[in-house]
Amino acid sequence: MSKDIKVSVSILCADFKNLADEIKKCEDSGADMLHVDVMDGHFVPVITVGKMIVEAISPITKMPIEAHLMIENPYAHLDDFLNAGADIISVHAECYGQRREGCWNFGEFPKEVDNIDVELVRKDIKKVKDSGKEIFMTVNPGTPLCFSEILTEIDGVLIMSVNPGFAKQKFMPIALTKLEELSKTFQGDIAVDGGVNADTAQSVVNAGANVLATASYFFGAKDPSEAVKYLKSLKPQGY
Contacting range for ligand DX5; rule: CB under 6 A; set: 25-33, 56-64, 181-189, 190-198: 190-198
Q: Check binding of 94 to Zn ion (CB under 5 A).
A: no
Query: Applying CB under 6 A, which of residues 12, 49, 157, 211 lies at the interface with ligand DX5?
Result: 12
> DSSP label at 26?
H
Determine the Cα–Cα distance for residues 96 and 154; give it in Å rounded to an integer.
15
Helix (H, G, I), strand (E, B) or coil at 70: strand
Residue number with the smallest Cβ distance to Zn ion:
68
Q: Check binding of 216 to ligand DX5 (CB under 6 A).
A: yes
Contacting range for ligand DX5; rule: CB under 6 A; set: 71-79, 129-137, 166-174, 175-183: 166-174
Report, in Å, the least distance between residue 30 CB and Zn ion.
20
Contacting range for ligand DX5; rule: CB under 6 A; set: 17-25, 147-155, 182-190, 192-200: 192-200
Of 37 and 94, CB closest to ligand DX5: 37
The Cβ of residue 159 has, within 10 Å, a number of other Cβ atoms equal to 30
Residues assigned a catalytic role: 37, 193
Of 124 and 193, CB closest to Zn ion: 193
Determine the Cα–Cα distance for residues 238 and 123; give it in Å rounded to an integer.
40
Spell out the residues 6+ positions from residue 109 whose beta carbon is closer than 8 angstroms to its own: 44, 45, 103, 163, 165
Phi-psi region of 74 (alpha: psi -120 to 50; beta: other; left: phi over 0): alpha
# binding residues, ligand DX5 (CB under 6 A): 21
Determine the Cα–Cα distance for residues 62 and 60; give it in Å rounded to an integer.
7
Q: From the list Zn ion, ligand DX5, none, which binds 64 (C-beta under 5 to 8 Å, kind-based)?
A: none
Q: Check binding of 214 to ligand DX5 (CB under 6 A).
A: yes
Q: Which amino acid is at 25?
A: K
Q: Where are the alpha helices (DSSP H) in 43-200?
A: 51-57, 78-84, 118-130, 174-185
Q: Which residues bind ligand DX5 (CB under 6 A)?
A: 10, 12, 35, 37, 68, 162, 164-169, 193-196, 213-217
